[in-house]
């Protein structure tokens, strides 16, 4: 089949179900490290991510009616280079093995970029494995690498647990904690009320919690997703550090990680962030690999001369999807 033998539809056009998408994701990402099992329940929740509109998400449908290729698009107003970017973040780009190398993923990405530009988005952003086939594919479509993201993994306990630190499921009252958090890095998306509501509804298989000192939560806490991910070829229980909330010194970060009640901790950070590298090392985590953040300008303001500086790893778009 040639690329023209497939029809490009939006996920809103029907037939693109949670079951079909999770089955395709399992086929395409099941063997990858650090991937949370894409169950239908997880998919249902993920598709409710604020800014992700089924109209923007695309699929290529084969003549037999099955989904051959798909991607998610999430509109997100990111802080970039100290100003605002009306970004469209893409993730979960996947093509069923029997339909690969026919230009389907490329077609979905270029179509998604055209539509994002039409609705006024000015930057397209994605995360992928460093020096991977997909990175080469995206480079060929005009994306450029804006940051190298280190993925550090370890078991808590190398750094002494901090006294009085507690772990609990994210609760309504934490909206204040999240809403008050701000990072100066490019790519940061402030926590809106809608985003907090979505996090509060995460499924049991991706249970989002807060670890911190209850008496000084602001500035002394981490948002962590408890899930099962593939580490060294095996499915293992892990805490994925989604965010470190506030200004934390190296020792505090290490001790928070050391206090996590899970056998493995996973943290992503801009490889240029020497403070995070030091904290992870102190916590006994070691860098297992690198991802990259890539950007495609949809408007002149983000052309080749734009300097993005340190990049904030949008963990929900990196790990598990």
- Under the binding rule (CB under 6 A), the answer on residue 94 touching ligand COA is yes
Residue 137 binding ligand COA, by CB under 6 A = yes
Q: How far apart are CA 126 and CA 73, in angstroms?
A: 10
Note whether 268 binds ligand COA by CB under 6 A: no
Q: For the packed helices 274-282 and 250-258, what is the interaxial angle rounded to 10 degrees? A: 40
CB closer to ligand COA out of 71 and 224? 71
Q: Is 4 in the site for ligand COA (CB under 6 A)?
A: no
Handedness of CA 78, 83, 86, 89 (dihedral sign): negative
Report how far apart, in Å, the C-alpha atoms of 234 and of each of 75, 122, 299 are: 34, 40, 43
**x-marked contacts with ligand COA along 36-75 as a string, rule CB under 6 A:** ---------------------------------x------
Of 38 and 51, CB closest to ligand COA: 38
Residue from 6, 21, 29, 150 in contact with ligand COA (CB under 6 A): 29
CB of 213 to ligand COA, least distance (A): 37
112 binds ligand COA (CB under 6 A): no
Question: 3-state DSSP helix/strand/coil percent for the chain, to nearest 5?
Answer: 30, 35, 35
Rounded-to-integer distance, Cα 6 and Cα 1, Å: 8
Residue 218 · residue 246 · CB < 8 Å: yes
- Strand pairing of 67-80 and 58-61? antiparallel
Give the residue, chosen from 14, 82, 133, 304, that forms a contact with ligand COA under the rule CB under 6 A.
Answer: 133
| End-to-end C-alpha distance for the chain, whole angstroms | 28
Is residue 279 involved in binding ligand COA (CB under 6 A)?
A: no
* Smallest separation (angstroms) from ligand COA to the CB of 232: 19
Q: Choose the stretch contacting ligand COA; rule: CB under 6 A; options: 9-17, 131-139, 190-198, 235-243.
A: 131-139
Our CB check for ligand COA shows the closer of 223 and 271 to be: 271
Q: Are 312 and 270 in contact (CB under 8 A)?
A: yes
φ, ψ of residue 181 in degrees (nearest 5): -85, 140
Least distance in angstroms from the C-beta of 105 to ligand COA: 3
What number of other Cβ atoms are within 10 A of residue 175's Cβ? 18
Stretch that binds ligand COA, among 117-125, 129-137, 149-157, 282-290 (CB under 6 A): 129-137
Read off the tokens for 40.
Answer: 């239908």
Of residues 105, 210, 244, 265, which one binds ligand COA by CB under 6 A? 105
CB-CB neighbours of 300 under 10 Å:
8
* Chain contacts with ligand COA (rule: CB under 6 A): 28-29, 69, 93-95, 100-106, 128, 133-134, 136-137, 140
């Amino acid at each position: 089949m040639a690329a023209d033998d497939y029809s490009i539809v939006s996920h809103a056009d029907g037939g693109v179900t949670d079951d079909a998408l999770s089955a395709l994701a399992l086929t395409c990402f099941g063997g990858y490290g650090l991937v949370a099992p894409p169950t239908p329940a997880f998919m249902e929740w993920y598709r409710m991510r604020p800014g992700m509109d089924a109209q923007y998400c695309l699929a290529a449908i084969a003549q037999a009616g099955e989904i051959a290729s798909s991607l998610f698009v999430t509109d997100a107003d990111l802080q970039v280079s100290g100003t605002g970017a009306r970004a469209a973040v893409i993730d979960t780009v996947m093509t069923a093995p029997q339909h690969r190398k026919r230009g389907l993923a490329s077609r979905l990405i270029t179509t998604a970029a055209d539509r994002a530009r039409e609705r006024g988005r000015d930057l397209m952003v994605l995360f992928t494995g460093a020096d991977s086939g997909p990175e080469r594919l995206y480079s060929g479509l005009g994306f450029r690498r804006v940051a190298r993201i280190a993925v550090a993994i370890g078991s808590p306990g190398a750094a002494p647990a901090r006294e009085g630190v507690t772990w609990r499921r994210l609760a309504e009252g934490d909206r204040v904690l999240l809403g008050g958090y701000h990072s100066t890095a490019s790519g940061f998306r402030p926590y809106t009320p809608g985003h907090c509501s979505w996090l509060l509804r995460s499924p049991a298989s991706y249970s989002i919690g807060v670890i911190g000192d209850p008496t000084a939560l602001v500035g002394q806490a981490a948002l962590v997703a408890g899930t099962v991910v593939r580490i060294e070829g095996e499915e293992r229980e892990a805490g994925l550090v989604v965010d470190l909330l506030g200004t934390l010194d190296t020792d505090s970060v290490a001790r928070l990680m050391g206090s996590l009640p899970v056998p493995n901790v996973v943290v992503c950070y801009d490889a240029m962030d020497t403070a995070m590298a030091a904290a992870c090392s102190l916590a006994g985590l070691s860098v297992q690999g690198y991802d990259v953040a890539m950007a495609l300008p949809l408007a002149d303001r983000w052309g080749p001369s734009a300097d993005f500086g340190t990049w904030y790893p949008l963990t929900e778009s990196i790990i598990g999807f």
